[in-house]
Amino acid sequence: MMTRRLAALVLGSQAPVVVFAAVGARALAASSDDPAVAGLHLGLGLALAGLCVVAAGLTRWRVGLLVGWLAQLATFAYAVVVPMMVVVGVIFGGLWLVAVIQGAAADRLTVARSAHAVPGDGLGR
């Protein structure tokens, strides 16, 4: 349960950062390339941000974590268009990894604590 909450938090935080990067990529491309390339940069970034939002919503199910991993890989792939996305990919990829690993550890602790809780001690649910 905690894994899914942390994963959704990371993906939900990643989406606006990707949108801002897409807008920046569009502006840079518009000033130096043709408008079609600028639109492509914006479209790819918005698609990636949309993938992050969809993955955050899907984290209730196991498929959401798989889509989240795909979003992290796509963030690194977007670095071909916006080179600074490598930094974003490292930061959010690291947060994603911590969310998955530490969230799973917290889930195991919660299950263990619930299994050993004595009724009426305030620790059980």
Read off the pLDDT of residues 59-70 as tens digits, 9 standing for 90 and up: 999 999 999 999
Half-sphere exposure of 79 (CA within 13 A, CB side): 14
Say what the pLDDT of residue 46 is.
96
pLDDT in tens, 47-101: 999 999 999 999 999 999 999 999 999 999 999 888 889 999 999 999 999 999 9
* Cα gap 48→19, rounded to integer Å: 8
Q: What is the pLDDT of residue 37?
A: 86
Read off the pTM: 0.85
Report the percent of the chain where pLDDT is more than 70. Answer: 92
